[in-house]
Amino acid sequence: MIRALLTLPDRLFAWVEPASTPVLTTLARFVFAAVLLVYYWNSGLTKIPDGLSNLINPSFNAFAQIFPKGAEAAGYDITAASAFQKATILAGTWAEFILPALVVVGLFTRAAAFGMIGFIFVQSVTDIFGHGGELGKWFDNASDAVIIDQRAFWVFLLAYLVFKGGGPLSLDRLLKNGSSLHQDDLQQARG
């Protein structure tokens, strides 16, 4: 009797499970777009206040955001940034535009989601140690700690995409299907 009750949910949802991955991967990308796409693009735009030329020449805003203590010590003079700092600033700025776009359209989804997880980690470390942000706590009565609570959900969402891919409504799937169709055509032509 107990065993039957324990396995009842599994039996009831067994027919749903095969369809869940395609739905959930597409939903995960939609939720990422709805919650984080504009957040990251707006953050990226603050790093290029003088236009797109700052995508190859870092701005003092980006210097101050990514290396706050180093920027302050240099009087917010971007020319005082080291080559490593400039490369990091440019990579971070590009990542805020490129990685979210790749996740949303589902192109190189697994790699882009993995890159976003790394970005969130670096962003969190910078927020804590560079800007003096509060890490927050798990297992407390508050669910609004920006870093540990919110970003845990972000990382979980992205980890799902790392493991499951972009789903049926993605450029990954379109390119894969187009590639397999092309391979079939080649095999038939050789045959």
Q: Which domain holds residue 103?
A: 23-190
Average pLDDT over residues 138-161: 91
Task: Tell me whether residue 3 is in a domain.
Answer: no
Task: Tell me whether residue 12 is in a domain.
Answer: no
pLDDT in tens, 20-30: 888 999 999 99
What percent of the chain lies above the pLDDT cut of 90?
59
pLDDT above 70 (res 156):
yes
CA distance 70 to 66: 9
pLDDT above 90 (res 160):
yes
Task: Tell me whether residue 17 is in a domain.
Answer: no
Task: Tell me whether residue 101 is in a domain.
Answer: yes
Task: Tell me whether residue 82 is in a domain.
Answer: yes
Domains identified in the chain, total number: 1
Task: Tell me whether residue 7 is in a domain.
Answer: no
- Higher model confidence: residue 13 or residue 162? 162
Task: Tell me whether residue 110 is in a domain.
Answer: yes
For residue 90, the tally of other CB atoms under 10 A from its CB is: 18
Q: What is the pLDDT of residue 169?
A: 93
Query: In which residue are the tokens 């894969």 written?
Result: 176
pLDDT above 80 (res 130):
yes
